Structure 1
């Protein structure tokens, strides 16, 4: 065992001492492929757990993060107990002192229930599967529609604020810290020229009600059971007050392109309209009358604004020297930016068809 592994096991042993369970015999295995938090599966002779080390560089509000998750889980459990929520809720395990997290040195950890025989998927493979994904995330926010959102902390300030993202881009362009502007001037100009769209996003955002939103609605943030049936929504780190259009837009962004978000072959990009149709119809139907007409209209806006905003964030990070998103090759963030802006362009071009599909719900 190398020094790093020994230190990790020592930290985990210290964390587990904070809980009222017998961890004398425990197997530890890496769980999932997340890029932010370190997550492990713990197996004892009696029970299985998930142990997660929260990345407090990305999530400095670690106490608020676990508090948000606790409030959400307890509300969902109450609704499940009276038959109003169909999915499982992996609860956080409280420490001996009643805390939702444990701190060892400068690191924050939390222990959670593990749902036996569950697994994650990385890609939506059919319209039927897309409908299940949209329904699960919609059930999550819909069941929380009567939760007082003001009780949740904002974990990442201005996360979906398009004005903030454009200010960041303008600042990066003005400073040009890495002398990279000349290599992406055309893309920068295109983004800055979208002011009419940006104004529309700002205007509609002011009129929409806040919900408890997940803010990372990828398929791999669902657990599935046999038959690829969703059984739980997981990874509540970014749950906070937000708009439904952003949750839906992120689903479309991650499910409806035929390319990975860093694929450079953007001329081959297409929108999977059959997947989009399944997503929007299932999402709207799950909410029923709890979604207003304006919120339904906003879903199409979110479909476009999420890849546009993320594209500008990738572009900003490229100009600033790749200080936020992890990169594995030269111009990786620029490739991502081109990819996401191409997705935005295709979604704008397809908007009449998207609206027609949305009206079929």
Structure 2
């Protein structure tokens, strides 16, 4: 065992001593493929757990993050016990002193229930599957619609604020720290020229009610059980007060293109309209009258907004020298930015069709 592995096991042993379970016999395996937190499956002779080291650089409000998750889980469990929420709620395990996290050195850890016989999926493969995904994320936020949303801490300030993201892009362009501007000037100009759309987003955002939103509604943030049926919403790190159009838009961004977000063959990109229809119909239907008419209209705005926001964030990171998103090749973030802006463009061009599918 190398020094890094030995240090990790020592930290995990220290963490587990804070919990009132017998971990004298425990098998530790890496779980999932997340790029932010380190997640492990712990197996003992009697029970299994999920142990997660929270990335306190990305999430400096680490204590608030686990507090948010605790409040949300308790509310969902109460609703489930009352027969009002169909999904399982994987709970955080409290320490011996009643804390939702354990701190070792500078690192924060949390222990959570492991849902047996569950698994994750990486890609939506059919409209039927898209319908289940939309329904699960809608049930999550809808069940939390009577939760006092302002009791939740804002984990990442201005996370989906388009004006803030454009300000970041402008600063990156002005500074051009890596001398990369010349390689992406056309794309930069296109993004900066979308001021009418940016203004529209800012205007509608002021009129929309706040909900508890997940803010990372990819299919791999659901657990599935036999038959590919969603059984739980997971990864509550970015849960905070937000707008439904953000959650819906992220589903569209990650489900409705035929290409991966870093695929360079953008001329071949098409929108999967059958997937979009399944997403928007089921997301709206799951909310019923708990979604206002303006919120329904905003879903199309969100569908365009999320690819544009993440595209500008990739572009900003490329200009700044790839300091936020992990990259595996030169110009990886630029390729991602080009792909996301292409998706935004296609969705704008198809807006009339999208509106029809929403009815």
TM-score range, shorter chain: over 0.9
SS in 2 for 1:199: helix
* SS of the residue 2:112 aligns to: strand
Q: Residue 7 of structure 1 corresponds to which residue in structure 2?
A: 7
1:160 corresponding residue in structure 2: 160
Q: Secondary structure at the match of 1:209?
A: coil
Q: Partner of 2:286 in structure 1?
A: 286
Aligned to 1:134: 134
**C-alpha deviation, 1:48, in angstroms:** 0.5
Aligned residue for 1:215, secondary structure, equals coil
Look up the match of 1:17.
17
Shift of 1:4: 1.2
Whether 1:114 and 2:114 are equivalent positions in the alignment is yes
Distance 2:270 2:30 in 1: 35
Structure 1: where are the runs of 5+ without partners?
none
Q: Deviations over 1:141-176 (max 9, x none)?
A: 000000011100000000000000011111111111
Segments of 5+ residues of structure 2 without an aligned counterpart are none
SS in 1 for 2:258: coil
How much does 1:122 deviate? 0.3
Aligned to 1:61: 61
Shift of 1:2: 1.3
Whole-angstrom CA distance in 2 between matches of 1:132 and 1:353: 22
Deviation at 1:297, TM superposition (A): 0.2
**In 2, Cα distance between the equivalents of 1:16 and 1:82?**
33
Partner of 2:188: 188
Query: Distance between the aligned counterparts of 2:162 and 2:141, measured in 1?
Result: 22
TM-score (norm 2): 0.99
Q: Which residue matches 1:79? A: 79
Q: What is the rounded CA distance, in whole Å, between the counterparts of 1:268 and 1:182 in structure 2?
A: 25
1:15-46: per-residue Cα shift (whole Å, max 9, x none)?
00000000111111110000000000001111
The count of corresponding residues between Structure 1 and Structure 2 is: 359
Give the 3-state SS of the residue equivalent to 1:35 in structure 2: coil
**Ranges of 4+ aligned residues in structure 1 off by more than 4 Å:** none
Aligned mates of 2:2, 2:320 — CA distance in 1: 35
1:219-278 CA-partner distances (Å, limit 9, x unpaired): 000000000000000000000000000000000000000111111100000000000000
Deviation of the 1:280 alpha carbon: 0.3
Q: Distance in 1 between matches of 2:101 and 2:150?
A: 22
SS at match of 2:89: coil
Distance 2:257 2:171 in 1: 30
Match of 1:337 in 2: 337
Q: Which moved more, 1:335-344 or 1:315-324?
A: 315-324
SS in 1 for 2:109: strand
Deviation at 1:137, TM superposition (A): 0.1
| CA deviations over 1:57-116 (Å, ceiling 9, x no partner) | 100100000000000000000000100000000000000000000001111000000010
Deviation (angstroms), 1:324: 1.1
User: 1:272 maps to what in 2?
Assistant: 272
1:171 match: 171
Q: Distance in 1 between matches of 2:211 and 2:275?
A: 25
SS in 2 for 1:50: strand
Pairing 1:304–2:304 present? yes
Across the aligned residues of Structure 1 and Structure 2, the Cα RMSD in angstroms comes to: 0.5
